[in-house]
A and B are shown apart, each in its own frame.
Chain A
Amino acid sequence: MTRINLIVDGAKVADDVEPRMLLVQYLRERLGKTGTVIGCDTSNCGACTVHLDGTSVKSCNVLAVQADGAEVTTIEGLSDGENLHPVQEAFRECHGLQCGFCTPGMVMQSVALLEENPSPSEEEIRLGLEGNLCRCTGYHNIVKAVQTAAGASNGARAHRADVGASTAEVTA
């Protein structure tokens, strides 16, 4: 067992952990931060993405002991009380999720992406999310959500993204 101290979603925590315990397992099993999920075992899916000292990482690919002394933000610590983070709000607004399992990782990576590049092109968004798999949305509305969030945080007038489909003339 190794003693670790870290800050998770703003709270100081300390535990004795087995060195083999992954950060994602620590978050889920010890801290009850079950918002962060595990989708694969080869680090392809990105569902477990959290922020470690300000940058996005796959928490299945970090040992809890490696995070000793670090600051971790999960999907559960992203919003400010009742106020959703603009990226969370954009995912809801643009229907950027269906089953929601990839969503915590997708949102956390999108936040990191926008911090590094506040005005990404569609291609930059798509490449920036290459480490996150989604099986439901076909990515279309996720990309729209990131575009919308970028627009919102750039001070542009918030607009409803073109995420729905218009309905052509009704003919029976």
Chain B
Amino acid sequence: MTAVQEQAASEIGRDRRRKEDMRLITGRTRWTDNITLPGMLHLAMVRSPFAHATITSIDTSEAKDATNVVAVLTGADLGEAQGACINAWAITEDQVTPPHLPMPTDRVAFAGEIVAVVVARSAAEARDAAELVDVEYDDLPAALDLKEAAEDTVLAHPDLGTNKSAFWKFDSAEAGTGGDVDAAIEKARGDGIVIEREYRQQRLIPAFMEPRSVVVDPTGEQITVWSATQIPHILRFALAATTGVPESKIRVIAPDVGGGFGGKLQQTPEEMIAFAVGRRLGKPVKYTETRSESLLSAHHGRDQWQKLTLCAEKDGTVTGLKVDLLADLGAYVSLVGGGVPVLGAFMFNAIYKFPAYQFNCQTVLTNKTWTDAYRGAGRPEATFAIERLMDELAAELGEDPLEVRRRNWITHEEFPFTTVAGLEYDSGNYELATDRAMEMFGYDELRAEQQRRRDAGDPVQLGIGVSTFTEMCGLAPSRVLGQLNYGAGGWEHASVRMLATGKVEVVTGASAHGQGHETAFSQIVADRLGVPFEDVEVLHGDTQSSHKGLDTYGSRSLVVGGEALVRATDKVVEKAKQLAAHLLEASAEDLEFAGGRFGVKGTDAGITMPELASAMFAAHDYPEGMEPSLDAEATYDPINFNYPHGTHLCAVEVDTETGQVQLRKYACCDDIGTIINPLIVAGQVHGGLVQGIAQALWEEAVYDESGTLVSGSFTDYLLPTAADTISFDVDHTTTPSLTNTLGTKGVGEAGTIASTPAVVNAVVDAVRHLGIDDITMPCTPERVWKAIQGVAAGGTTEGASMPHFDGDEAGTHSTEGAGA
């Protein structure tokens, strides 16, 4: 199964306007928070203000007395009914995993953790009464700084005896995929080049635009859960597995979901509490978080320290790479948890032919918000590290950064290529994408301008940043996941129902939240069945209609879910062919299928797919031995990841007087294989780029020395606006993937993975002639300016939030940052 389908595609490749848009642009939407049910009660959470504390007492009496309050419940009240939040990926057998109750009963481990829930007739009354719940805490020392926590000086969970959760290692010499990296480094110290750096991946917040919301309706035979989640199927499993409610009694629906970016790839305490409260009271309940609660308690992302050693020969040929990571888990090991850095473990070698590689990762528990997947999950960190290092190597050599990459990358003749991390890259052409990106960018002219500005001592300097990325996506081959000790598989399911009227219902286990599955999947089905695009309806996100699925993350929907769909439609065509042959009184071998019609070769006789669907509905005349149905389903388990790649070029202007960084130009050429819908693809790239750029320049979750999230609102957690960004030049080269029928590769995370190092490389490039070789992310104006002033622009963001909403207090106290 490696042949790429050749077909005269009419829908695939077409820039169809999205089916989803009509309802979204008119406000005819079904967000979870829109749902109102008779007798519905509203929840408000009481959250810990302390990062680490013993709960000494919870007095709910005053809150219970308030008008229209129905119940006030603690973890002790709910007992085992509250279930547990699961970690699906113990990355090592001896991983230290603290138990994670949705509402802990004795001790809180991060600021924002829920200690009680108020149930009232209105959301306002629930919020009012939440302020009446009197919780007494004994403050405990908090493990906040990642490096200090790794030393076990203060314990995030005293009972565990350590903060070190798991140590995960890959060594190419041990794996037989390459040489001994320590030997390579030793040799390079003698006669080559050794680049040693330490980079900070700051803590980020996914910050999907729709705050999380959950509605639980226990009034039917099944308990129905609506949730703003990426993972209705996994949530259903987790609800069942940890509460004892049979999975068959739970229906989970992800209605319209307003973005996720990994941030809704979680089984949350809020969902578990709503489920427990709904069951206990026998009434529908709703909980919708505020943005402040979302920033505080929905999982965060990134948060690593990366110690990196790259060794090369004098001519710039890389001989080895060693990676030592510290990864901050926060207070609990979340659903994917320590698996996030492991997803990056195979990507530090990127597009290059490194002969030796070693990856070491220590995951660490702290008393901060738990971390998990955020767009790219592990791979942006890896790409950042290697692409920053390749620029540093180029600087050491005094070479153009693209030249040193060319010397080390896999050439297009060398595919398929087995990397030093043990992956087989099936296809790609780095030369072609790079040439195209350089052309779009106007690389030589911008380099000339850069030189002119340097020569003139212009206060505004120009920097050019390069990122030639690849990623592994399409999560994931189930056997590989098994080898990595992941708790589930990576297959996807699809079914196709041929309705009597000729319309087609497609059910996918992928669960979209903005990606445009309804449109792209319709295009695939329309092409393969030869039915009009408009006649295809894509159903998803409801475990009752979509009974089987593994949801949407890791750029998997199209490459895994789309392939399942292809296989299901092919089965439909096969069944239809039998029926057509029967009705046309022809031999199946004499039929040809094109444009949705089976024709008898050499005659005018034929029958269309809708006619066949109608005939099979009536079932008056169909072949002996055949079931009266054209419907089909397929479950597809990918045989490999796939490996989109691309060359991203970024130009920034750095105002050396203020340190302000302004985007000047951004051009990228990505190879994502066959493109189903170029409009949707471009949108994914644009959005991905801005999220990656935002890591480079703007966003950071900062905690103070007591473990309070300082950047706890959109006033201080800085998402960029339209006014802060630019229009992008996006193009594609195409080497089809060889691991799926359509030749597609994932695109959901590409922009985010590629852009962060491109931007930081550009910022550093703008000021490198001033003696600067690194600026910590986000590259704030203050950091850039201080770097230029020769002040160490270290890895800490210090300071308080801006005081605008404090009412009466200035935020002038200096505080320690998240990674101090």
- Chain B residues in 8 Å Cβ range of A98: 259, 514-516, 683-684, 687
Which stretch in B84-92, B204-212, B534-542, B585-593 binds the other chain? B204-212
Partner of A138, one of B209, B292, B680, B728: B728
In the complex, chain B residues whose CB is within 8 Å of the CB of A171: 429, 432, 733-735
A107 contacts the other chain (CB 8 A): yes
Cβ B209 vs Cβ A102 within 8 A = yes
Pair A76/B258 contact, Cβ less than 8 Å: no
Question: Whose C-beta in chain A lies nearest to the C-beta of B735?
Answer: A172
A18 touches B24 (CB 8 A): no
Instruction: For B22, give the chain A residue with the smallest CB separation.
Output: A92
Chain B residues near A (Cβ < 8 Å): 4, 13, 15, 17-18, 20-22, 24-29, 31, 33-34, 36, 124, 207-211, 256-259, 261, 290-292, 427, 429, 432, 436, 513-516, 669, 675, 678-691, 713-715, 719, 721-723, 725, 727-728, 730-736, 751, 805
Kindly list chain A residues whose C-beta atoms are within 8 Å of the C-beta of B681.
164-165
Contact A84 B26 (CB under 8 A): yes
User: Residues of B contacting A170 with CB < 8 Å?
Assistant: 734, 736
Q: Kindly state the separation between the CA atoms of A7 and B516 in the bound complex, as whole angstroms.
A: 35
In the bound complex, CA of A101 to CA of B258 (Å): 5
In the complex formed, the residue of B with least CB distance to A18 is B124
Chain A residues within an 8 Å CB radius of B429: 171
- Contact digits for A36-59, partner B, Cβ 8 Å, 1 yes 0 no: 111111101101000000000000
| Chain A residue contacts of B730, Cβ below 8 A | 165
Residue of A nearest to B712 (CB): A42
Say whether B27 contacts A35, CB under 8 Å.
Answer: yes
- B728: chain A residues at CB < 8 Å are 138, 140
Identify the closest chain B residue to A146 (Cβ). Answer: B722
Nearest CB in chain B: distance from A60 CB, A: 10
CB of A82 to closest CB in B, whole Å: 10
- Is the Cβ of A136 less than 8 Å from the Cβ of B687? yes
The complex places the Cα of A170 from the Cα of B207 at a distance, in Å, of 37
User: Is A5 an interface residue when CB atoms closer than 8 A count as contact?
Assistant: no
Query: A residues near B, CB below 8 A?
Result: 18, 20-21, 28-29, 33-42, 44-45, 47, 74-76, 78-79, 84, 88, 91-93, 95, 97-104, 107, 122, 125-127, 129-144, 163-172
CB-CB < 8 A to A107: which residues of B?
A: 25
B514-A136 in contact (CB<8A) = yes
Judging by beta carbons under 8 Å apart, are A99 and B259 in contact? yes
Name which of A75, A84, A95 has the most chain B CB atoms within 10 A of its CB.
A95
By beta carbon, the residue of chain B nearest A29 is B36
Beta-carbon contact of B683 and A137 below 8 Å = yes
Looking at the complex, which one of B209, B678, B713 makes contact with A165 (CB distance below 8 Å)?
Answer: B678
- Could you show 5 A-B contacts with beta carbons less than 8 Å apart? A34-B33, A45-B209, A45-B714, A167-B731, A171-B734
B25 touching A138 by the CB < 8 A rule? no
Question: Which of B20, B26, B292, B683 has a CB less than 8 Å from the CB of A35?
Answer: B26
- Quote the shortest CB–CB distance from A13 to chain B (angstroms): 17
Compute how far the CA of A133 lies from the CA of B686 in the bound complex, rounded to whole angstroms: 15
Q: A139-B690, A167-B675, A170-B734 are in contact. Are A95 and B682 (CB under 8 A)?
A: yes
Cα A76 to Cα B217 in complex, Å, equals: 28
A166–B686 touching, CB < 8 Å? no
B27–A135 touching, CB < 8 Å: no
The answer to whether A99 and B734 touch across the interface, beta carbons within 8 angstroms, is: no
Residues on A with C-beta less than 8 A from B292 are 41-42
- Could you count the A-B residue pairs with CB atoms below 8 Å apart for me: how many are there? 223
- Are A138 and B733 CB-contacts (below 8 A) given A100-B258, A101-B258, A143-B722? no
A168 touches B734 (CB 8 A): yes
Is the beta-carbon distance between A101 and B31 smaller than 8 angstroms?
yes
Smallest Cβ-Cβ distance to B435: which chain A residue: A168
Whether A135 pairs with B719 at a CB distance below 8 angstroms is: yes
Q: Which residues of B contact A140 (CB under 8 A)?
A: 682-683, 686, 725, 727-728
**Additional pairs, 13, CB under 8 Å, beyond known A132-B721, A134-B722, A168-B432:** A38-B33, A44-B715, A76-B26, A98-B683, A98-B687, A130-B722, A136-B209, A136-B514, A139-B690, A140-B728, A168-B732, A169-B734, A172-B735
Contact of B27 among A20, A76, A136 (CB under 8 A): A76
Q: State whether A99 touches B257 (Cβ < 8 A).
A: yes
Chain B residues with CB under 8 Å of A143's CB are 722, 727
Contacting residues, chain B, for A97 (C-beta < 8 A): 21, 24-25
When the two chains form their complex, are residues B17 and A95 in contact, meaning their CB atoms are under 8 A apart? yes
Q: Which of B4, B24, B210, B669 has the most CB of A within 10 A?
A: B24
A168 and B31 form a contact (CB under 8 A): no
Q: In the complex the two chains form, is A42's CB within 8 Å of B514's CB?
A: no
B731 A42 Cβ-Cβ under 8 A: no
Q: Which residues of A contact B291 (CB under 8 A)?
A: 39-42, 45
Choice from A29, A36, A168 contacting B733 with Cβ under 8 Å? A168
* Residue of A whose beta carbon sits closest to that of B670: A165
List 4 tightest A-B contacts by C-beta distance, closest first.
Answer: A35-B27, A99-B514, A101-B258, A100-B24
